[in-house]
Amino acid sequence: MKAPAAAAAAVGNRAGGVDPSIPRFKCQECHRALVVVGVDSFADKLPAQATSAHASSVHGSIMGASRMDNSYVVLSKQNKSHGHGIPPRPPSAAAPHIEPNQPTRAMEGSYIVLPPAAASIYKTSTSEGGGAQLPPPSINSSSLLPGNSFHSNVTVLKRAFEIATSQTQVEQPMCLDCMRLLSDKMDKEIEDVNADIKAYEVCLQHLEQESHTVLSDAGFQKEKLKIEEEEKKLNAAIEEAEKQYSEISSEMKDLEIKSKEFEELEERYWHEFNSFQFQLTSHQEERDAILAKIEVSQVHLELLKQTNVLNDAFYISHDGVIGTINNFRLGRLPNVQVEWDEINAAWGQAALLLHTMAQYFTPKFEYRIKIHPMGSYPRVTDIHKNTYELFGPVNLFWSTRFDKAMTWFLTCLQDFAEFAISLDKENNVPPEKSLKLPYKIDGDKVGSHTIFLSFNKVENWTKALKYTLCNLKWVLYWFIGNTSFAPPSGSLCAAQSSKR
């Protein structure tokens, strides 16, 4: 505890050695430099001798002291002016500790406020006589020599601080701010201790009261048994709780197992769901494909049902005033030139058609005038076994053989038509529903127009050809309506066997 003070004293000594006129002390709490003033007046107070100026100053101090509490050291302005070059502290920095019940005047510089214990000790010293504490020889020597006087001042302060430290258990010196903080802290500690004291007193009172209600041995045994029974009940409750806990634990374990099973089931369900979705999509696509095929097949079948092979192979129509078969024009006009290749192709198809129908009904139909289809080069054989070419080109002014071929074609068509009519009669077909050629055929004339090309206008010839095709068309429709025109399977097999 005293080491810091000794160190401070040592520092002071060194400082005194360097500059004896400037002593240094530090606050032991905040370690700031302290400036101690007023010691001279205190020292001068003890000796009675003094100069006149000093005497007036001393008198002022004594008067102040008499009116104020002994805990203060009064500082004078004049002493401060003689401070030996010490830099003065601002007056506002030091807040004076003012007793509320004591009137005070503004003080300059700083001062030391001692705790009550120290103050009381100090008071006792004062009452005993301040001179007794200090040896008279040292005072005399210090007053005579200025250097010795400062040293004695520092020594006095050091001793004062050591005494204060030993008495108060607090390191000294301290500045005013730290002193105030310390005072507040000690006040709080005092309050706490007082509170503890009161609490202890209350406890002591309770103990004194309770001590009167001490249980007897019998009561104690009774209480002990009661508590033991309660303990047994609690142990039983604990066992029951543990049993329930184990049951619930096992139940929870079962539930976890079931939860895992449910998760597996759910996963399997989703797999099956996805598989089903895939199958459903596949089936839907397959069904859509089948429905599309059905629609296509239906359209195709309907188209084929509406198509007749003979009518398709020998489509007879007209292009203006020119008759056509399979889009081959039969005939020509002065302003419409049709090549012989096309006319020959048309005659070729007409010959093939008439030959096919006649051949179908042979031998019932007396096929006396024969048609020989050979593409665009058909021929006709008459009843006299003469064969004529039914194709061109031929000379307009000399086409005897071509004219005869066309005439015999007309005769053959007429023969087949008459045969068809007789067949209708044979089958009891009503006359109005029987075949009737739209254009009458008489020798080389059809519809009153000669089919001869020689010495004939091409317009008339073309008209006769158109009428011929129209008659052929009516015969074709009769043929389609009265025959199935399909090769017998026996015939087909016979054909195949004959080939092999």
Q: Which residues bind another protein (CB under 8 A)?
A: 265, 268-269, 272-273, 276, 279-280, 283-284, 286-287, 290-291, 293-294, 297-298, 300-301, 304-305, 307, 309-310, 312-313, 326-328, 341-342, 344-346, 348-349, 352, 355-356, 359-360, 370, 372-377, 381, 385, 387, 485-487, 491-492, 494-496, 498-499
SS3 of residue 382 by DSSP? coil
At 465 the three-state DSSP class reads helix
Residue among 235 and 298 whose Cβ is closer to another protein: 298
Residue number with CB closer to another protein (26 or 473): 473
Q: How far is the CB of 399 from another protein (least distance, A)?
A: 18
Q: At what angle do helices 400-426 and 458-482 cross, to 10 degrees?
A: 30
Q: How far apart are CA 377 and CA 348, in angstroms?
A: 6
Burial grade of 113 (CB within 10 A; 0-12, 13-18, 19 or more): middle
Chain-centroid distance, C-alpha 141: 97
Q: Based on CB atoms, which residue is closest to another protein, 148 or 284?
A: 284
Q: How far is the CB of 320 from another protein (least distance, A)?
A: 17
Phi then psi for residue 31, to 5 deg, are 60, 40
Task: Yes or no: say if 355 and 367 are a contact pair by the CB < 8 Å rule.
Answer: no
Query: Smallest gap, in angstroms, from Cβ of residue 304 to another protein?
Result: 5
* 227 or 301: CB nearest another protein: 301
Identity of the residue, 162 or 342, whose beta carbon is nearer to another protein in the bound complex: 342
Q: How far is the CB of 487 from another protein (least distance, A)?
A: 5
Nearest approach in angstroms of CB 377 to another protein is 4
Please give the Cα distance from 95 to 107 (Å, whole number): 10
State whether the Cα torsion 87-88-90-95 is positive or negative. Answer: positive
Nearest approach, Cβ of residue 313 and another protein (Å): 6
Nearer to another protein, 33 or 303 (CB): 303
Instruction: State the nearest-atom distance from the C-beta of 236 to another protein, in Å.
Output: 44
Q: Return the closest-CA partner of residue 156 out of 46, 57, 76, 65.
A: 46
CB of 297 to another protein, least distance (A): 5
Report the distance separating Cα 410 and Cα 415, nearest Å: 9
Is residue 451 within 8 A of residue 444, CB to CB? The reply is: yes
Shortest Cβ 379–another protein spacing (Å): 9
Nearer Cβ to another protein (234/291): 291
Tell me if residue 319 falls in helix, strand or coil. Answer: strand
**Cβ at position 401, least distance to another protein in Å:** 11
The nearer residue to another protein, 195 or 495, going by C-beta atoms, is 495
Q: What is the DSSP string of 148-171?
A: HHHHHHHHHHHHHHHHHHHHHSS-
Is 225 or 301 the residue whose CB approaches another protein more closely? 301
User: What DSSP letter does each residue of 389-428 carry, written as one string?
Assistant: E-----BTTB-HHHHHHHHHHHHHHHHHHHHHHHHHHHTT
Cα–Cα distances (Å) from 126 to 120, 183, 410, in that order, read 10, 25, 180
Nearest in space to 346 (alpha carbons), one of 412, 396, 390, 300: 390
Q: Minimum CB separation from another protein for residue 280, in Å?
A: 6
What's the min distance (Å) between Cβ of 226 and another protein?
58
Per-residue buried b or exposed e for 10-47, using 16+ beta carbons within 10 Å of the residue's own CB = eebeebbeeeeeebebbbbbeeeebebbbbbbebbeee
Angle 153-155-161 from CA coordinates, rounded to 5°? 105
CA distances for 290 relative to 295, 298, 302, angstroms:
9, 12, 18
Nearer Cβ to another protein (145/296): 296
Give the residue with the Cβ less far from another protein, 356 or 434.
Answer: 356
